[in-house]
Structure 1
Amino acid sequence: MALQPEKLVTAEKYLALERKADHKSEYYAGEIFAMAGASERHNLIVANVVAELRAGLKRRDCKVYPSDMRLKILSTGLYTYPDVVVVCNKPQFDDEHKDTLLNPTLIVEILSESTEAHDRGKKFEHYRKIESLAEYLLIPQDSPKIEYYSRQPENQWLLSEITGLQNTVKLAAIGCELVLAEVYDKVEI
């Protein structure tokens, strides 16, 4: 007996379901993927990063969004929820609901065992196709470190690794910096 092929979902159907759901899901190529909850360390790091970025960008034309802001990658069709997103200049949205962002300048992902390979691999592959994206940060939960990717000419990406609580990451594209001691404040590492 042959298995029935799974019915693919349209992006429109996904958005209708997602806007009514009590949990977050990602969408890609007709499939919906439920997202797992986050640990205490993950949530503390997200809160710290959002607080530091908001303080650093207070007088700039940039907005900081936490993990409830959905992002759509136009060229690939992926809908996802980055941990933190910064948009400089005017945010562009997918529709009048203003719940699906299109033009991030900076994306931050907090790494966990279950998401690390995806955040470094396929997800970053999608993110690199966003024309407005200038910087991408990967932050582990268990050690004071930030992997800072910055877009270079000809769509190349430069990786800088910053380690140690005493160090700072200078985010050139948004004119701001993150102090690792603040990123990991109250986080048991």
Structure 2
Amino acid sequence: MVAIPDPKYMSPQEYLEWEEKQPIKYEYINGEVFARPEQNLTHNYIIGNLITALKNHLRGGACRVYAIDVKLGVSENVSFHYPDVTVTCDERDRKARKIIYHPCLIVEVLSPSTESFDRGKKFKQYRRISTLREYVLIGAEQMSVEVFRINDRGIWELYTYAEGDEVYLSSVDFRCAIALLYEDVVLESEEEES
């Protein structure tokens, strides 16, 4: 994540008004604004594969799947993000036009430039969302999926998946082979071997 040059504190309302006029997307955390990095083809394919599978699974139900350019608001306007994939089953989000506030599932595809932010500061913000049940990190350099799932005691537990595994997302009762997420994807490790 890249902070804007010469940052000045922005209120949530100032950010929302300012960002609408910008040619690229920016995320907002406690008054600071960060440019959203561009996605590569690997990133895009993984997101597309997951969106397609989730949309097919959830079709006809109360849940909606959103990708990349949908803004997510966290905890009383403390921060705004653009997750790679967001699922909400909450009636309050049904009429949303610009911002989703009540997701049950958030997915980020990791890249070297965003991985530490996605694992740290961003996940810390996401944990403030009372409706969030799972946070998923998908590797873009190797076949790996990490699912952080909140248990009945409010503790986040980690479930990891690798090549040959079936990924399970309990928040939307979804299962798929990990290979489906990586269909038609050429990983960096495979490129180096060729």
Taking structure 2 as the reference length, what is the TM-score of the superposition? 0.87
Corresponding residue for residue 59 of structure 2: 58
Q: Go from structure 1 to structure 2 and tell me whether the alpha carbon gap of 1:89 and 1:10 turns closer, same or farther (over 3 Å shift).
A: closer
Indicate if the aligned counterparts of 2:30 and 2:79 stay in contact, CA closer than 8 A: yes
Name 1:110's counterpart in structure 2.
109
Aligned position for 2:175: 177
Q: CA deviation at 1:21?
A: 1.9
What is the distance in 1 between the residues matched to 2:112 and 2:55? 28
More deviation, 124-133/12-21: 12-21
Q: Which amino acid aligns with 2:181?
A: V
- Change beyond 3 A, Cα 1:178–1:75: farther
Q: Which structure 2 segments of 5+ residues have no match? A: 1-5, 188-194
SS of the aligned residue for 1:41 comes to helix
- Deviation of the 1:92 alpha carbon: 2.8
Partner of residue 136, structure 1: 135
Q: Does structure 1 retain, via aligned residues, the 8 Å contact 2:89–2:103?
A: yes
RMSD: 1.8
Matched, 1:74 2:64: no
In the superposition, relative to structure 1, how do residues 159 and 97 fare at CA in structure 2: closer, same or farther (>3 Å)?
A: closer
Asked whether the equivalents of residues 56 and 177 of structure 1 are also in contact (C-alpha less than 8 Å), the reply is no
Match for 2:165 among 141, 164, 167? 167
TM-score (norm: length of structure 1) = 0.90
Query: Which portions of structure 1, spanning 4 or more consecutive aligned residues, are displaced by more than 4 angstroms?
Result: none
Share of identical aligned residues, percent? 34
Q: Output the CA distance in 2 between the equivalents of 1:38 and 1:159.
A: 26
Deviation of 1:163 after TM superposition, in Å, equals: 0.5
The residue number in structure 2 matching 1:32 is 33
Q: Distance in 1 between matches of 2:149 and 2:76?
A: 20
How far 1:6 moved relative to its partner? 5.2
Point out the more displaced range, 70-79 or 126-135: 70-79
Count of residues paired in the alignment: 182
Superposition deviation, residue 86 in structure 1: 0.3
Q: What amino acid maps onto 1:13 in structure 2?
A: E
